[in-house]
Amino acid sequence: QKEVEQDPGPLSVPEGAIVSLNCTYSNSAFQYFMWYRQYSRKGPELLMYTYSSGNKEDGRFTAQVDKSSKYISLFIRDSQPSDSATYLCAMTAGNKLVFGAGTILRVKS
Amino acid sequence: DTEVTQTPKHLVMGMTNKKSLKCEQHMGHRAMYWYKQKAKKPPELMFVYSYEKLSINESVPSRFSPECPNSSLLNLHLHALQPEDSALYLCASSVQGGQPREQYFGPGTRLTVT
């Protein structure tokens, strides 16, 4: 079993939809939880990071962490075609990041 | 400014060549990383430098040789690579090595080994 599970998709939604991206994890020692967005042939871009259980909002993005269920989510409101990318969750284990497989998101206009 | 720069953007090299990838950051970060990413896969950690010292080598073959000349620069020296080493090579940095919650990536160097 992988330490971090993430559905690779692809997830296809119409423009304006609310998108929910999720990861589950098995290691209780993970402390920080990040979401990266990666466009094709580009480096990952840090969107948000969270530490404690609860929600953190930044513009159209909301990151949610539930440590008791070992489950994290990223919500994107009013999705745009420019949001089409691969979204990677990542978690800190000591001085390393452990990545999920990434979810391919396609927002159709 | 959260910019990490990498050069070159693209590199094609033969199996007998020697080349180097370069990475630079001016955010005052003291931890720097090399990752390898294959198509449709997440980044795979290769090396971690913390305060200019190599702290993690993820059992990377010796044909990859990292170097950290100073706190802003990170190099990856390549020699006698194999075609399966073709990938996107990403550099990243964070404030410090422990619990790198804000790790910023560069755009990557797309390497093709012929």
- CB proximity B48 to A under 8 Å: yes
Contact B90, B35 (CB under 8 A): yes
Give φ, ψ of B8 to 5 degrees: -80, 175
Residue with the two structure tokens 């795979």: B44
Find which of B99, B102, B112 to mutate to test the A interface (most A CBs within 10 Å of its CB): B99
Q: Which residues of B touch A31 (CB under 8 A)?
A: 99, 101
CB nearest B106 (choices: A43, A49, A88): A43
Per-residue pLDDT tens for B76-98? 999 999 999 999 999 999 987 66
Give φ, ψ of B84 to 5 degrees: -70, -5
pLDDT in tens, chain A (109 residues): 789 999 989 999 999 999 999 999 999 999 899 999 999 989 999 999 998 889 999 999 999 999 999 999 999 999 999 999 999 999 998 888 999 999 999 999 9
Residues 6-45 of B with CB under 8 A from A: 6, 31, 40-43, 45
- CB proximity A30 to B under 8 Å: no
The pLDDT, as a whole number, for residue B1 is 64
Q: Which of B82, B90, B91 is nearest to B25 (CA)?
A: B91
CB nearest B102 (choices: A49, A99, A102): A49
Q: What is the mean pLDDT of each run of 10 residues along chain B (114 residues)?
A: 90 94 95 96 96 94 97 96 97 82 93 96
Distance from the Cα of residue B90 to its chain's centroid: 5
Alpha-carbon span B3 to B11, nearest angstrom: 21
Alpha-carbon span B46 to B30, nearest angstrom: 17
Contact B107, B89 (CB under 8 A): no
A71: enclosing H helix or E strand: strand A71-76
Q: Which of A107, A45, A47 is nearest to A82 (CA)?
A: A107
Contact B52, B97 (CB under 8 A): no
